[in-house]
């Protein structure tokens, strides 16, 4: 295993993950849709924001704790749902959940995880959120809602930006499909990743435990959508969200909102929050970078509901910038995923340590003593 003590940035973890994983799997995690414009712009939007730090403030100690969706978090961050990740590291969902619990932040379990809703709750616990993919079989998705409720998950994030699967072109070029099976097109790459290969031989290729019993649609010859992507309910609408709100007794968020009027409608239906997200650049290429969509959403509903930001977070200072632009917190997808891919649970913890230490330093350098003091006055005029 790599020496995680030598890792100083999320990019270091990304490079360790790249070296360890077969290309097809790394690209599935790392890539975006079509020309990957939105994927790049999610990151570039953070790089365009400039700060005006305050000086001569006593920042010998800063407080990064926040109330996030009704509970305390060690920093304004939760781990985002990421599907299919145990193909890259056996037990990756459990590793991320354990790292989140130890660090004191929420963890979101993806619908297509390798471990069941119940097992993650029983074996790990902590602040657990569940991400619901609205599949076409209504009865099946309502069973998922009931299972998450019975298992004690405190929040549900309904992914609403996925009526159909995005066109991620790295996957067919690499011969990648989910569930992942090595084939002649990627066998050479697999052979030259012995650490990953030995782990797969030992543990086997993961399935999607929460989909046991589901009748998957057969792919067409030219279909590049993942198995789950083919099952999305393109008819999902606001009436369906009303039904989910009736079924789910706890905190409910819509993930994939970029328009303020959609956020306002979510608030009117009784949702507790929205995640400003474009699915990490993996669906509609050309969608606005989430950091640029954030301020209008935050102005519209930020005083009434929780507003989280997803996409492009790679540095602790990104969390500060998102807060300054109106977010209550961020979701980290790839940042913590790279940690888990590089080093399992210790790697995921290292990713969180890096983000926390960078946020703390950024707060001190900006002259703010608590997360609550981070506001728009820190932003340089554009």
Q: Which residues are catalytic?
A: 279
**DSSP code per residue over 51-63:** B----S---SS-B
Bridge partners for 306 per DSSP: 273
Q: CA dist 256 to 77, 106, 364, Å?
A: 17, 19, 32
Answer left, alpha or beta for residue 215, where phi above 0 means left and psi between -120 and 50 means alpha.
beta
CA dihedral 9, 10, 14, 15 (to 10 degrees): -10
How much of the chain is helix, strand and coil, in % rounded to 5? 45, 15, 40
The answer to whether the Cα torsion of 9, 319, 93, 214 is positive or negative is: negative
Q: How far apart are CA 58 and CA 318, in angstroms?
A: 22
How many angstroms separate the most distant Cα atoms in the chain?
64
């Amino acid at each position: 295993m790599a020496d995680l003590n030598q890792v100083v940035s999320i990019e270091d973890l990304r490079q360790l993950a790249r070296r360890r994983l077969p290309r097809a799997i790394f690209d599935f995690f790392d890539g975006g849709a079509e020309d990957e414009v939105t994927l790049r712009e999610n990151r570039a939007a953070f790089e365009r924001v400039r700060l005006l730090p305050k000086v001569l403030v006593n920042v010998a100690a800063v407080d990064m704790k926040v109330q996030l969706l009704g509970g305390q978090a060690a920093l304004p961050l939760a781990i985002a749902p990421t599907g299919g990740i145990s193909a890259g590291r056996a037990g990756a969902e459990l590793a991320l959940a354990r790292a989140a619990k130890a660090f004191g932040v929420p963890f979101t379990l993806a619908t297509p995880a390798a471990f069941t809703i119940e097992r993650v709750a029983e074996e790990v616990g902590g602040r657990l959120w569940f991400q619901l993919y609205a599949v076409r079989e209504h009865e099946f998705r309502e069973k998922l809602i009931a299972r998450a409720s019975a298992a004690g998950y405190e929040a549900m994030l309904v992914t609403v930006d996925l009526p159909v699967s995005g066109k991620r072109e790295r996957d067919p070029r690499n011969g990648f499909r989910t569930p992942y099976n090595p084939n002649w097109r990627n066998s050479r790459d697999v052979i030259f990743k012995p650490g990953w290969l030995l782990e797969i031989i030992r543990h086997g290729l993961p399935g999607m435990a929460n989909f046991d019993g589901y009748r998957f649609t057969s792919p067409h010859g030219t279909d590049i959508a993942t198995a789950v992507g083919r099952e999305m309910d393109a008819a999902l609408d606001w009436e369906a969200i009303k039904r989910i709100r009736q079924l789910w007794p706890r905190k409910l968020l819509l993930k994939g909102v970029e328009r303020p009027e959609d956020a306002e409608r979510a608030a009117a239906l009784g949702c507790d929050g929205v995640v400003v997200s474009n699915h990490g650049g993996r669906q509609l290429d050309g969608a606005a970078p989430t950091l640029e969509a954030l301020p209008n959403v935050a102005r519209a509903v930020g005083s009434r509901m929780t507003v989280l930001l997803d996409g492009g977070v790679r540095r602790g200072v990104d969390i500060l910038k998102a807060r300054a632009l109106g977010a209550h917190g961020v979701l980290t997808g790839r940042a913590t995923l790279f940690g888990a891919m590089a080093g399992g649970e210790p790697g995921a913890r290292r990713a969180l340590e890096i983000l926390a230490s960078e946020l703390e330093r950024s707060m001190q350098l900006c002259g703010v003593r608590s997360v609550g003091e981070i506001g728009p006055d820190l932003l340089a005029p554009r």
